[in-house]
Amino acid sequence: MRSLNLRRIQSFATFDLPINYHYIYSRFHKTHEDHCSSYAVWPTAATRHKLISGYWDDVLRHYLLLLGVSTLFVVLFNSPLIFTKGIYLGILFMIGALAYVPLYYFIYRPTFNCDFLPKLETAIIAFEGKEQAWLEKCKQDQLSNRALVLLFYVLEKTSKLSFLSPTDRCADQLHQIFGVSPKGMKNELELIFKNDKLVKPDSRHYLEVFKSFSETYTLLEAMQFNEGIQHLKELELRLKKRFSPKIS
């Protein structure tokens, strides 16, 4: 740990740390996560501004480090002259302040434009790609709208409630529970509760409907919810009878 901290200090002293890609990415990730936990909405653009501000904070710290070390070096080797004639100390600080101008134009600003910013943009794209991949995985793992309705249907049957119906009100309530489209919920409710004939059994819709049953069976089996499985089988059989053999 001590050697790691020493390397970080050395890297900062040579101004390598603020433009290290892994450092930029980890700092972006931590800053973004910290602010996301404090705000309902925190875009990556806001974190980008934070890191840019952080870069110039690092510039100031690096410059003050150089100024402090150089001043200490001069004082140690010229202390009698400096302390007997205070004017030299003022000149020393003035030269140190003026030294910032060439450092800014020849080191800090070119490094910011040509090194830090490109690496920051790359880190943002990498972070957003990982976020999108994580969201896609969550979406794939989540039950489909139809499977959610089937699950709620099973829960309703086993608890002897009378809640589900193919109405806008019920769809809105399911939307509040599951956070999915009310229109999608109503379509799935109509599939379960309406008695009109459906399309032929070899259609894509047929396969999608009973794929949702498979999703729900998997969940109920994992829960060892045997009564729920029985109700789901009864609904599945009823729906299969509604699929007409021919398109009329």
19, 111 Cβ separation under 8 angstroms: yes
Residue 73 predicted with pLDDT over 60: yes
CA dihedral 197, 200, 202, 208 (to 10 degrees): -30
Beta strand extents in 68-227 (DSSP E only): none
Eight-class DSSP state of 18 = G
Q: pLDDT higher for 219 or 138? A: 219
Helical H segments across 42-159, by residue range: 44-84, 86-98, 100-103, 109-111, 117-141, 145-159
Ranking 7-16, 31-40, 53-62 by mean pLDDT, the lowest is 7-16
CB-count exposure of residue 212 (10 Å: 0-12, 13-18, 19+): buried
Domain edges within the chain = 2-140, 145-242
| pLDDT given at position 246 | 47
CB-count exposure of residue 171 (10 Å: 0-12, 13-18, 19+): buried
Angle between helices 204-223 and 226-242 (to 10 degrees): 170
Residue 117 predicted with pLDDT over 80: yes
Q: pLDDT higher for 194 or 70? A: 70
Question: How confident is the model over 14-46, as pLDDT tens digits?
Answer: 888 899 999 999 999 999 999 998 888 899 999
Q: Identify which of 111, 127, 132, 112 has the alpha carbon closest to the alpha carbon of residue 45.
A: 127
Residue 2 predicted with pLDDT over 60: no
Residue 143 predicted with pLDDT over 90: no
| pLDDT given at position 78 | 65
- Provide the token pair at 237: 């059989």
Over residues 4-16, the mean pLDDT reads 70
| pLDDT given at position 61 | 92
Average pLDDT, the chain: 81
Quote the pTM value: 0.57
The number of angstroms, rounded, from the C-alpha of 29 to the middle of its chain's C-alpha atoms is 9
Eight-class DSSP state of 39 = -
| pLDDT given at position 215 | 85
Residue 247 predicted with pLDDT over 50: no
61, 100 Cβ separation under 8 angstroms: no
CB-count exposure of residue 21 (10 Å: 0-12, 13-18, 19+): middle
- Provide the token pair at 100: 């910032």
Residue type, position 176, single letter: Q
Percent of the chain with pLDDT over 70: 78
Q: pLDDT higher for 71 or 122? A: 122
119, 19 Cβ separation under 8 angstroms: yes
